[in-house]
Amino acid sequence: MSKRTIVITGASDGIGAAAARNLSRRGDNVVIVGRSATKTRQVADELGADFFVADFAVLAEVRALAATLLERYPRIDVLANNAGGIMGARQSTVDGNEKTFQVNHLAPFLLTSLLMDRLVQSHATVINTSSAANSLLGNLVIGDLNATSGYSANKAYGDAKLANILFTTELHRRFHEQGVSTAAFHPGGVATGFATGSTSVMRLVYTTWLKRFLKTPEQGADTLVWLATTKPGVDWVSGEYYDKRTVAKANKQADDAGLARELWERSLDLVAAPVV
């Protein structure tokens, strides 16, 4: 059997790097994507893996990444949309979107959309890294996805993680019958550089002595690796949100099919992606 090709974004550090190491040890062809050229190359060199650098705050770089992946890989068996983070004061990207929403949702939405034909052909699995913050902090306002009013770093992050789940459910609805399986998951509080640079009080958990109570990156990557190595429809259910390998309760908005459809359409407008 030929090696599977697994693309992991946000794989230069944290749970992305931990998942890449685990999957590489299993014999998969892991493709490392990260924002930092130095850190991304270090992980790739360690594993003997291909790597690509892309800043998800710049959608042109996401489009270039998608084009390169399509050129290089005739199959993509797993796409793990893992890049993301909590930000500080409100910033607009060069594309005109609020940075938290673009990096955590719009960029992976665009990448997945641009790879869709290849993912369908490959009967791929798409894994989206969400967070329990979707329930604790999220309250998505479809008319203000870019948080032009009432911005807070925490709410922006919660909204983006809720968007990850809504994207998962709508991706399942649109493409599962064509062979694509998908799931979102909560990695838990993980001792990484996740909140570096954020103004959120959450940074205190990640940057002080409290960090000792968090999971290791390897523990945080467990559900990602499980979803990537097991069989949808047998070991897990496509379209669901998971925590510790178990279907978990999400924000009540995550059950709103109409909201999921509308988010998909609004996201297409915001990234100006081809309609899929």
> Per residue in 157-190, pLDDT tens?
999 999 999 999 999 999 999 999 999 999 987 5
- Lookup: tokens for 187: 């990695």
Mean pLDDT of 18-46: 98
Q: Give the lowest-confidence range in 19-28, 33-42, 134-143, 168-177.
A: 134-143
Q: Give the lowest-confidence range in 154-158, 188-192, 216-220.
A: 188-192
Q: How confident is the model at residue 199 (pLDDT cuts 50, 70, 90)?
A: low
pLDDT at 30: 98
Residue 40 near residue 12, CB atoms below 8 Å: yes
DSSP string, 155-223: HHHHHHHHHHHHHHHHHHHHHGGGT-EEEEEE--SBSSSTTTT--STTHHHHHSGGGGGSBPHHHHTHH
Whether pLDDT at 257 is above 50: yes
pLDDT at 253: 96
Q: How confident is the model at residue 138 (pLDDT cuts 50, 70, 90)?
A: confident
Give the amino acid at 74. Answer: P
Residue 106 near residue 59, CB atoms below 8 Å: yes
Domains in the chain: ranges and CATH: 5-269 (3.40.50.720)
Mean pLDDT of 114-120: 98
**From the DSSP assignment, how many helices (H) and strands (E) are in the chain?**
12, 8
> Which entry of 157, 206, 241, 242 is annotated as an active-site residue?
157
- In this prediction the pTM is 0.91
Active site residue 157: yes
DSSP string, 46-72: HHT-EEEE--TT-HHHHHHHHHHHHHH
DSSP H/E element including 78: strand 78-81
